[in-house]
Structure 1
Amino acid sequence: MTKLRVQKTAKKNIHIHNDISNTAHYLKTRIEEKEATGDRHGIALDITACLVMLAFTFESRLNFIGEQKVADFKERRWFDKKVEIVLKALGLEPDFSVRPYSSIKELKNFRDTIAHGKPDTIEVDETVDFEPGKNYDDFDLRGEWEAFLTVDFVRQCSDDIDQIWSEWIAAAEIELHQTLTYGEYSISLIEKPTVFGG
């Protein structure tokens, strides 16, 4: 039996924004398929999951650019401050009152509502005119955040964060392939083969 002594080296560059983005894309595709076929079963749940993944996609891309272009970048810093720091490093001054950048705040607010979900009590105490036979059962139990659960809002957020991503990697002068997960692996012989048993 021959035994070899080798030196193994490996390096992994894992960029999670790709995995999160792929999850969001999968959910968006499923939502659009349901919409096309008129299947409404669970679509609001799929939209909720997709919007959360889109928010995560944006922030993980923000962290990636920050790591690449900002000295001593702190991923756990307050969200708005991270955006400000990255935009400054890229030399960009976007208008947050219009798309695509206006979608960031909406998406972040939606994500925060879901991530930090808390009970809410809304009381109604009003005098109304009453007409016999008229239906007054108009008490709406939906939360305000449910207004965002539309296919159009999913498309808007997806398109806008992708447009911002393209702008950012161009401004950062990062090639698309550099944003992908990749690794290196090698084995080098460090001793001549030794034969055991004979």
Structure 2
Amino acid sequence: MKKRQVQKTAKKNIHIHNDISNTANHLRIRIEEMEAAGDRKGIALDITACLVMLAFTFESRLNFIGEKKLPDFKERRGFDKKVAKVLKALELDPDFSKRPYSSIKELKDFRDTIAHGKPETVVIDELVDFQPGTDYDDFDLRGAWEACLNTDFMRQCSEDIDGIWKEWLAAAEIDAHQTMTHGEYGITLLEDFSAFDG
């Protein structure tokens, strides 16, 4: 008995920025629904997760544009260097002191604080005037990053990174469909037969 063989070929273009963005959008929608319903239980934790995913979304989009537009792009290069190289390649000179670009630094700083979480000791030793009836037990245990845990900041970051993404795609002359995960697959029946011993 003779067996036939087929040649299998496949090519995958996996663009993780879409999956990360979908995760961030899922969290944002859930948070907005919680907020609308007055359900605050765990909302700060969900906002934390959403902001981290938004930061990851931005950097993965940055890496996508870098790979498409710069032949020597290195994903492991420092964040600020990657941003500078991509902006130069796209011939963009944005004002980082204004939105949408000002959100990048805020989001990156938040992400770094969470990603590189380390213990911090804050010492307060101050002399205050005594006032009868005053509560002196006002010690705040919140970390500085917790100021970001609100829906307004989350929405701002989401809107701003999406606005930057649209600007970059236009400047790079990349159509939206080219940013999607896609692939191709083929099977070719080979004409020559080999002996089958079984």
Is the partner of 2:126 in helix, strand or coil?
A: coil
1:61-140 matches, within 5 Å, as 61-140=61-140
Relative to the length of structure 1, the TM-score reads 0.95
Q: Verify: 1:40 aligned to 2:51, yes or no.
A: no
Deviation at 1:6, TM superposition (A): 0.5
- AA matched with 1:75: E
2:30 corresponds to: 30
1:169 corresponds to: 169
Is the partner of 2:104 in helix, strand or coil?
A: helix
Alignment partners' CA distance in 2, 1:36 and 1:185: 45
- AA matched with 2:56: F
Task: For residues 153-184 of structure 1, give each alpha carbon's deviation from its aligned partner in whole angstroms, at most 9, with x where no partner exists.
Answer: 00000000000000000000001000000010
Alignment partners' CA distance in 2, 1:97 and 1:167: 17
Q: Structure 1 vs Structure 2: percent identity of aligned residues?
A: 75
> What do you get for the CA RMSD once the two structures are aligned?
1.6
1:149 corresponds to: 149
Alignment partners' CA distance in 2, 1:161 and 1:26: 16
Alignment partners' CA distance in 1, 2:191 and 2:23: 46
Moved more, 12-21 or 121-130: 121-130
Q: Verify: 1:19 aligned to 2:19, yes or no.
A: yes
Deviation at 1:129, TM superposition (A): 1.6
* Moved segments of 4+, more than 6 Å: 193-197
- AA matched with 1:189: L
Q: Give the unaligned 5+ runs of structure 1.
A: none
Alignment partners' CA distance in 1, 2:133 and 2:95: 52
Deviation at 1:132, TM superposition (A): 3.2
Relative to the length of structure 2, the TM-score reads 0.95
